[in-house]
Chain A
């Protein structure tokens, strides 16, 4: 009796499995076959990911080479006063260009996307928003700024489609964004808290839920600039 019941259960289970398989196979056959567009998009995504990986590798290599050059220059400076004087002068220039690590008090600004609206992309943080925040922080006495860890230099440029920010030769950055500034903390906090500043961002914060907040800190560290600082056309006159 028990054997027969077990056999019946097994039969039901096997039937259910077979039906499940058949239904799944049927549903898959009914679904639209991925078009060329999807396949193309996937190939493009893979290309972007490969290029991003190469990009990160180059920037890491540049940071490492700058460190090695600095060490070799330090050794040369120990043997010559002239080289030592030059090295001191270049150290100051490098600091102003953002090529060296920077530490001090400052402000951390966080930005995030809002709620999707009716088709428009206003709910996304764009490169102009980041640029506005960076400009305001420099106006408030920032001596160094980094966006998602990417240090800003005098040659820095911002670009990118809505929701994506590309800075210099770096990888495309996406929300959430964190802008870290080292410098005059009080003045930067005052400007960031001024409701008359960053009007566009604040309007979209109210209407579309964009995230915008800031916090002062007594001790922040900015990584050195890790991209190319080349001038291909300009030369000293």
Chain B
């Protein structure tokens, strides 16, 4: 009762605005900043979306199936290197330019085999395909122009083989390596045919690619 009599005075009325307004100001500021802070907090949280990502990234390293395919490609490259080696040593009459091109391409196929071997590691085969070698051996003999023509046909078959491989390979490292080999071998065909004296553009640009060697050896 005593308290009520002192509280209802003018003094109490005058004290409320100063302290009360101060408190109200702080409280209001706190409330008004709530959306800002809540926005900051939500920015750190991944937004919820209805669409879920369904694409599965392909593997980098060769899969088990890839390993078998790349091993076959490696054996083919070793076989081609052997065929070039046989032709360079066994065929007479190479001009300096022809010998330079044949030697460079032989070295390129050896490099491709080594690259594939590096990718495959311990599972890499170290021998060529004798079956494929025997199939092509006779084509890499005779006149130099004949050998250049047959070598270009074999290079075209390699291009087809690599396109075949690319349609099956899952691992990105293997696919990227095969692509870099294939585009170089495509140029080999045109260069070899030009060197053999062919002038027909359809043949030089290979309107019809040869058959794939995959599974042939």
Instruction: Tell me whether A and B are bound partners.
Output: no
| Residue positions of A touching B, CB distance < 8 A | none
| Residue positions of B touching A, CB distance < 8 A | none
